Amino acid sequence: MRLPVLVLAALVVAPWAGSAADAQATTRRKVYISVDLEGIAGVVANSQTSPAGANYDWARKQMMAETNAAIEGAFAGGATEVLVNDSHGPQTNLRPDEIDRRATLITGQPKPLGMTQGLDSTFDAAVYIGYHAPGSTADAVHGHTFSGALKVVRLNGKEVGEYGLNAMVAGYWGVPVVFIAGDRAAVEMASDFIPGVDGLVVKEGIGYYAAKTMHPVEAREKIAAGVRAALVKRIARPPVKLGPSITLEVELDALAHADQVALVPGMKRNGRTVSYTSSDPLTIYKVARVIMALSRD
Ligand SMILES: [Zn+2]
């Protein structure tokens, strides 16, 4: 079916909504970048993702380089401000002095809103780098959601990974997620959940600890070009909206963890599965983090 021209015009929206892509350089255009480690090109092993690991320094260097590539792409695409949130493990992986100095960095933990800390309604677009799939996915490098204890996470019945929980919070602030880089499983699942998101597959998972990877330098070039293209592209990218009621359902790995999570007021529990319902995406996000915190041995 051909849409009338007027309707098409209404659908054509750049991330720089309100200011239009050709607005003056004085207009503030803010881009938020959340960076994880498991979905960075070339990273597959525990020795790379754990700070105690022998190859961690190498991996964090790659994370730094992909972050700087995304920052470069954001400014090339018209951003005037970029906020980067270190979103892996100790959340001190990115060295503050090695990040592109045009960007601002959020580092350390705990942060009330974790991987989405610092995002608010003043931002125009969100970008996810180094992302991975959830724990139930086959051929997904280091698939998990927050921790190994959260085996399956669903939002209103649909399975999601960290990308989904984070996109829900971005949607709460009215911010579209425009670009995601990670392994194939992460990019494919995110594309199914986040309307109009551009994806870059930097490696193909062969299992939990193996992948066929793009050369890291190639990945950086494609990230810079991809973020830029996603920001200047004039297509409709509605923020993720769930609700009015949102139900978070989590299948845990152990009954003992469900015992602890069930202590949270308002939490429902059925065997190893717990669930919580709220109309507020930020509450749902924090509850997911509480479930993680209470599922440690
Ligand atoms: Zn992660």
User: What pLDDT shows up at residue 27?
Assistant: 74
Length of the chain: 297
User: What pLDDT shows up at residue 236?
Assistant: 78
How far does residue 187's CA lie from ligand 1's centre (Å)? 13
- Taking the C-alpha atoms of residue 186 and residue 162, their distance in angstroms, rounded to an integer, is 9
> H helices of the chain, where?
5-11, 46-49, 56-76, 162-172, 184-193, 216-232, 255-261, 281-294
CA atoms within 13 A on the CB side of 282: 10
Which residue in the block uniquely carries the two structure tokens 């100790």? 90
Residue 274 confidence (pLDDT) above 80 = yes
How far does residue 8's CA lie from ligand 1's centre (Å)? 37
Residue 93 confidence (pLDDT) above 70 = yes
pLDDT tens digit string along 202-235?
A: 999 999 999 999 999 999 999 999 999 999 987 8
How far does residue 27's CA lie from ligand 1's centre (Å)? 33
- Taking the C-alpha atoms of residue 274 and residue 32, their distance in angstroms, rounded to an integer, is 31
- Taking the C-alpha atoms of residue 187 and residue 99, their distance in angstroms, rounded to an integer, is 25
Q: In what order do the strands lie in the sheet with 150-155?
A: 158-159, 150-155, 246-252, 273-278, 268-270
In the annotation, is 144 catalytic? yes
Neighbours of 99 (CB within 10 A): 19
Amino acid at 55: N
At 229, give phi and psi (nearest 5°): -60, -40
User: What pLDDT shows up at residue 12?
Assistant: 46
Q: Which residues surround ligand 1, an ion (CB under 5 A)?
A: 36, 162
Q: For the purposes of burial, counting CB atoms within 10 Å of the CB of 77, is it exposed (0-12), middle (13-18) or buried (19 or more)?
A: buried
When the pLDDT of each residue in the chain is averaged and rounded to a whole number, the result is: 92
How far does residue 132's CA lie from ligand 1's centre (Å)? 6
Residue 110: cis peptide before it, omega within 30 degrees of 0: yes
pLDDT tens digit string along 102-149?
A: 999 999 999 999 999 999 999 999 999 999 999 999 999 999 999 999
Amino acid at 59: A
How far does residue 29's CA lie from ligand 1's centre (Å)? 27
Task: Note the CATH number of domain 27-232.
Answer: 3.40.50.10780
- Max distance between CA atoms of the chain, in angstroms, equals 59
How far does residue 115's CA lie from ligand 1's centre (Å)? 8
How far does residue 37's CA lie from ligand 1's centre (Å)? 7
**Catalytic choice (88, 144, 215, 257):** 144
How far does residue 19's CA lie from ligand 1's centre (Å)? 33
DSSP 71-116: HHHHHHTT-SEEEEEE-STTS--S-TTTS-TTEEEE-SS--TTGGG
The answer to whether the CB of 291 falls within 8 A of the CB of 274 is: yes
How far does residue 87's CA lie from ligand 1's centre (Å)? 7
Residue 9 confidence (pLDDT) above 70 = no
pLDDT tens digit string along 157-191?
A: 999 999 999 999 999 999 999 999 999 999 999 99
How far does residue 165's CA lie from ligand 1's centre (Å)? 11
User: What pLDDT shows up at residue 234?
Assistant: 75
Look at strands 198-205 and 177-183 and give their pairing: parallel
Neighbours of 225 (CB within 10 A): 16
Q: For the purposes of burial, counting CB atoms within 10 Å of the CB of 98, is it exposed (0-12), middle (13-18) or buried (19 or more)?
A: middle
7 versus 289: which is more confidently predicted?
289
Domain ranges of the chain: 27-232, 246-294
pLDDT tens digit string along 29-85?
A: 999 999 999 999 999 999 999 999 999 999 999 999 999 999 999 999 999 999 999
